[in-house]
């Protein structure tokens, strides 16, 4: 028995030595030995071949038509306004001789839009995993399992062994080390006096630990337009897909976080981080006081020696296909806004966190048993509030820029609809828009 435990201890030491020498030390100093690149090249080639096998199998089974319909979706919407669609609908009817421009045919427009929303709602589908064109050998799919071929089944079984028996233990080890070092390192730095060396060490510890955690997810991150990186005294706003967004952005620089105080493991990490860096954590009661939140954020950005604040204005995670309404709070401060667009490649793993379905632990385990985490990050030029522009208009302008750069759908809906019903104000906006169409047409017909 003693020989068994001695052998197990020896194997554990070798395992840790390999992780430290081949992964952690390169991650700490921001360089790679090429192991991740080799793994990604093999993975890309494998998925390309299996995609070809997948479609060839569909053709052999005369199922290509099914694949086409599943890819295209049920509803094909036109990006037209209410006014334009009503005008096209009314072209086939005669102009009423007396009275307003309302006609019973207008009901067809609202009926069609209502049926479209029931069949294929453009809001709630943003809170589920996006569907892939081709299977990536992971279990994630919105369709029921269908047997395709023996080759894919065998490779899928081999993939399970690789992901769960090799990649998962490695990634879990790195994640534990990264979080442990973050707590220990920030707590130790927090004991130093507030000199310049303390702030430098704090940034180095944060970035180092986040890089270790990123290696624990086999993250391949491409940063674009680094000349536009957020600067001190500003606010960095980005679209939000996952809590891992923080790890992705902090690999390339340090930020001050804004968020609610948590308990448990997350609370331990928060208390350690705030000792060395001026993060802005709020109690639950304080989060409801908008004036207090705005004041603390304004005080932070007015100090040009403090790190830029990182904020996700959507307030919830969206499924990597869209950008939803930005809350206006961070745009009322009058600070410089540094927009950042984040787009994940879904072929290698689903980065979206469906918090209604998965806990944080189960979500992280899903990510650690995926193939890899591949994403692009674009730094956009700094933006300022224009003269005569209110906070809502400014937020929408920033959101549109992020959506355009990331190739995401720009939606006006509130991400809070993930857990709440549509506000009455949204219904009233549509009612007012339609009434303005009727009244305008009525007045124009009377003037004629």
- pLDDT for the residue 69: 43
Q: Is the pLDDT of residue 337 over 90?
A: yes
Are β-strands 235-238 and 337-344 bridged in parallel, bridged antiparallel, or unpaired? parallel
Which range among 94-108, 175-189, 197-211 shows the weakest confidence by mean pLDDT?
94-108
N-term to C-term CA, the chain: 101
- pLDDT for the residue 400: 95
Cut 0.95: pTM above it? no
Work out the average pLDDT over 289-315.
84
CB 402 within 8 A of CB 381: no
How high is the mean pLDDT of the chain? 79
Give the pair of three-digit tokens for residue 38: 């080799």
Best-predicted range by mean pLDDT (72-76, 147-151, 182-186, 435-439): 182-186
Q: Is the pLDDT of residue 37 over 90?
A: no
With a CB cutoff of 8 Å and minimum separation 6, the contacts of 280 are 256, 257, 258, 259, 296, 297, 300, 309
Name the band, by pLDDT with cuts 50, 70 and 90, for residue 94: low
Q: Is the pLDDT of residue 70 over 50?
A: no
Give the pair of three-digit tokens for residue 340: 């950042």
Q: Report the number of secondary-structure helices (H) and strands (E) in the chain.
A: 16, 9
- pLDDT for the residue 395: 93
Q: Whole-angstrom Cα distance, residue 189 to residue 201?
A: 7
Which range among 11-15, 74-78, 197-201 shows the weakest confidence by mean pLDDT?
74-78
Work out the average pLDDT over 6-20.
77
- pLDDT for the residue 76: 54
Q: Whole-angstrom Cα distance, residue 158 to residue 171?
A: 18
Work out the average pLDDT over 8-20.
77
CB 234 within 8 A of CB 382: yes
Are β-strands 337-344 and 373-379 bridged in parallel, bridged antiparallel, or unpaired? antiparallel
Give the pair of three-digit tokens for residue 106: 């207008």
Tell me how many degrees the CA angle 283-287-293 measures, rounded to the nearest 5.
Answer: 105
Name the band, by pLDDT with cuts 50, 70 and 90, for residue 79: low
* 250 or 83, which is more confident: 250
Eight-state DSSP code of residue 32: -
Name the band, by pLDDT with cuts 50, 70 and 90, for residue 398: very high
- pLDDT for the residue 328: 86
* 311 or 334, which is more confident: 311
Phi, psi (degrees; rounded to nearest 5) at 374: -120, 130
Burial bucket for residue 240 (CB in 10 Å: 0-12, 13-18, 19+): buried
With a CB cutoff of 8 Å and minimum separation 6, the contacts of 46 are 155
Work out the average pLDDT over 273-283.
82
Work out the average pLDDT over 121-128.
76
pLDDT in tens, 255-264: 988 877 777 7
- pLDDT for the residue 64: 45
Give the pair of three-digit tokens for residue 107: 């009901």
Alpha carbons within 13 A on the beta-carbon side of 366: 20
Radius of gyration of the chain (CA): 26
CB 402 within 8 A of CB 339: yes
CB 217 within 8 A of CB 327: no
SS3 74: coil
DSSP string, 201-235: HHHHHHHHHHHHHHHTTTEEEEEE-GGG---TTSE
* 84 or 381, which is more confident: 381
Q: Is the pLDDT of residue 47 over 50?
A: yes
């Amino acid at each position: 028995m003693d020989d068994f435990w001695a052998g197990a201890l020896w194997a554990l030491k070798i395992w840790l030595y390999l992780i430290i020498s081949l992964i952690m030390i390169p991650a700490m100093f921001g360089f790679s030995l090429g192991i991740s690149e080799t793994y990604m090249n093999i993975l890309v080639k494998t998925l390309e071949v299996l995609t070809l096998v997948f479609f060839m199998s569909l053709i052999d089974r005369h199922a290509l038509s099914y694949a086409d319909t599943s890819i295209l979706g049920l509803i094909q919407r036109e990006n037209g306004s209410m006014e334009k669609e009503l005008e096209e609908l009314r072209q086939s009817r005669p102009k009423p001789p007396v009275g307003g421009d309302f006609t019973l045919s207008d009901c067809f427009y609202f009926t069609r839009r209502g049926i479209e929303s029931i069949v294929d709602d453009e809001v709630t589908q943003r809170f589920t995993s996006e569907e892939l064109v081709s299977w990536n050998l992971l279990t994630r799919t919105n369709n029921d399992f269908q047997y395709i071929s023996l080759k894919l089944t065998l490779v899928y079984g081999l993939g399970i062994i690789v992901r769960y028996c090799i990649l998962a233990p490695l990634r879990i080890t790195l994640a534990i080390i990264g979080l442990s070092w973050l707590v220990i390192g920030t707590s130790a730095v927090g004991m130093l006096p507030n000199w310049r060396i303390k702030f430098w060490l704090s940034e180095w510890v944060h970035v180092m630990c986040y890089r270790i955690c990123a290696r624990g997810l086999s993250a391949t991150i491409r940063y674009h337009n680094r000349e536009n990186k957020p600067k001190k005294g500003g606010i960095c706003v980005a679209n939000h897909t996952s809590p891992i967004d923080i790890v992705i952005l902090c690999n390339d620089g340090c930020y001050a976080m804004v968020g609610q105080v948590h308990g448990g493991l997350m609370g331990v990490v928060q208390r350690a981080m705030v000792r060395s860096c001026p993060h802005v954590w709020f109690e639950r009661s304080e989060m409801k006081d908008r004036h207090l939140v705005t004041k603390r954020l304004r005080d932070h950005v007015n100090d040009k020696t403090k790190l830029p604040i990182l904020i996700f204005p959507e307030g919830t995670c969206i499924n990597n296909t869209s950008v939803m309404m930005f809350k206006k709070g961070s745009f009322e401060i009058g600070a410089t806004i540094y927009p950042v667009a984040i787009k994940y490649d879904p072929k290698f793993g689903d980065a979206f966190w469906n918090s209604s379905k998965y806990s944080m632990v189960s979500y992280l385990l899903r990510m650690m048993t995926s193939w890899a985490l591949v994403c692009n990050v674009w730094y956009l030029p700094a933006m300022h509030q224009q003269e005569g522009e209110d906070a809502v208009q400014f937020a929408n302008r920033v959101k549109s820029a992020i959506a355009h750069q990331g190739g995401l759908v720009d939606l006006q809906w509130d991400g809070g609809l993930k857990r709440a019903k549509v506000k009455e104000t949204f219904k009233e906006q549509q009612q007012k828009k339609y009434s303005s169409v009727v009244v305008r047409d009525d007045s124009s017909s009377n003037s004629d």
